[in-house]
Amino acid sequence: MKYSSILLIIAFVSIAQQFYGQEKYTIWGELPDHSLDNSYLRLVNNSAIGQEYERMKHSFIDSILVVDGKFHYEGVLSQKPFLAYLSSARTGRNMLDLGLYFIVEPGNIHIRIANWADKGIVSGTPINDDYNRCIIEQQKKVDRERSLQNRSASFRDAYIHANECRLFFLEKYAQYPDVVRFHLSFLLNGRRASKDPDFPKYLRILDRMPKADRDILLAWRDYTIKREEYREKTKPLLDSIRDNAPRFIETIPSSSSSTTIKNE
């Protein structure tokens, strides 16, 4: 009887997990050397856009220990896939700072960083394979051209192709709002967005998103436009206030006369 009850409980838990969409994921990572051994990496949900402070408060997922130049983490996904950010604590040497975006989704996620200046390679799961190809690798090409101070056609072509790949990725995975909303929020920022030749594509991506998430991003766009207008209106007043800020006049006595110096 007890054995049957245990089997029923196990079956119930399994069904409940499937019903609520809870699926396991693992993260396997490899670093260039042992510089971060015995330190922790910080894993956070990075789907929040600017000003979503309440969402940011709950973004922390866990800390992952680095051992022998590698790290491993197992988790349960109780929501749809989302954009994550993995970072190291600052070490005092920028070359050892790790920061990497990737997608948390069911399956085995592999992260390999060949050198500290590299953005890394993410693979092993469908969305991450596309994210690596469309976002990470394309940004590497743009950064490489920029580092060469190359402003020729090759830099322009790399930038255009990177933008095309990014839009392809965002549209393909628009049904997963927490995968795309962070990147899309930058494209919708301020009045300049509507002047962008790709603005119709941004709207098309929005149309493919669930209504609740689409409304949030449209509200974000409206907020950024009003913020720009506010700053433009208040800038002259703030500049005037700063220009007329009080100054302390320092007096330096001398044997013959007094000298005054105005401290700016």
Position 16 scores a pLDDT of 44
pLDDT of residue 255: 64
CA distance 236 to 117: 42
Angle at which helix 137-147 crosses helix 153-172, to 10 degrees, equals 160
Spell out, as residue ranges, where the chain has pLDDT lower than 70: 1-21, 89-97, 149-152, 255-264
| Rounded CA separation 138/124 (Å) | 19
pLDDT of residue 7: 47
3-state secondary structure of 96: helix
Q: Where exactly are the structural domains of the chain?
A: 22-234
What is the rounded distance in angstroms from the CA atom of residue 65 to the CA atom of residue 29? Answer: 11
- Taking only the tens place, the pLDDT of each residue in 152-191 is 677 788 888 999 999 999 999 999 999 999 999 999 998 9
pLDDT for position 207: 96
